Amino acid sequence: GNSVTQMEGPVTLSEEAFLTINCTYTATGYPSLFWYVQYPGEGLQLLLKATKADDKGSNKGFEATYRKETTSFHLEKGSVQVSDSAVYFCALSPSGSGSARQLTFGSGTQLTVLP
Amino acid sequence: DTGVSQDPRHKITKRGQNVTFRCDPISEHNRLYWYRQTLGQGPEFLTYFQNEAQLEKSRLLSDRFSAERPKGSFSTLEIQRTEQGDSAMYLCASSLSTGGLMNTEAFFGQGTRLTVV
């Protein structure tokens, strides 16, 4: 079956540091890949997505590139802010259409950014 | 705010009782999803509806769980004879599917946190 593995957390960084959160996946066919973010007390929000190999998703300074050869979708940001403190989830959807049907999530990575 | 809303936000119940949660999706969205999230884990898919039709159910959805979306708008998730293992956050999400490749992202509600004592 499908699965998503995220780097273990929590991650603590100083403001303006570089962020990488690793994500690898196992799936058949050509899944769509997502990063969701969950701020304290709020629901999950889509941060970025990619629907085919070599696509780069980007939003709010975050980027992730769909690497089929390494089955990875690592999240990066060049300079984190205190307001980026949240839990980040990598996820996949089994179809290539970007549909939310049957999302499979990783276990989440807690990010804390210190001023 | 016209996002996905869930009610109640918190529910504490005794083991063996029945509970029902409600989800109101974004009004124009035709798909509605239920997920369960336990502490320290990512959400796990339970079931989804396209309009009023329940199209898929996870094996996680035991026969004590039932979900409905009677008019293709709001949905309810009922858990009968609750067990301590049912304690979790229950998340609802909605999206718009127009067929083919035109699908929106899933918008999630804030969830209902269930504690079974």
* CA A8 to each of CA A4, A22, B30: distance values in angstroms, whole numbers, following the listed order: 12, 9, 35
CA distance A65 to A74: 7
CA distance A47 to A58: 8
- pLDDT at residue number B26: 94
- Are A38 and B41 in contact by the 8 Å Cβ rule? The answer is no
Q: Taking the CB of residue A109, how many other CB atoms lie within 10 A of it?
A: 21
Question: Which tops the pLDDT comparison, B20 or B62?
Answer: B20
CA distance B30 to B11: 27
Whether pLDDT at A9 is above 90: no
Reduced to 3 states (helix: H, G, I; strand: E, B; else coil), residue B85 is helix
| A87 CA: distance to closest CA in chain B (Å) | 10
- What is the pLDDT of chain A when averaged over all its residues? 91
For residue B91, the chain A residue with the least C-alpha distance is A43
| B104 CA: distance to closest CA in chain A (Å) | 7
For residue B9, the chain A residue with the least C-alpha distance is A41
- pLDDT at residue number A96: 56
pLDDT in tens, A89-115: 999 988 655 556 678 999 999 999 999
- pLDDT at residue number A30: 84
- pLDDT at residue number A28: 83
| A104 CA: distance to closest CA in chain B (Å) | 7
- What is the pLDDT of chain B when averaged over all its residues? 91
Across the interface, do B106 and A46 touch by the CB < 8 Å criterion? yes
- For residue B88, name the pLDDT band (cuts at 50, 70, 90): very high
Side-chain-side CA neighbours of residue B53 (13 Å): 3
pLDDT in tens, A40-55: 878 889 999 998 899 9
pLDDT in tens, A12-21: 999 999 999 9
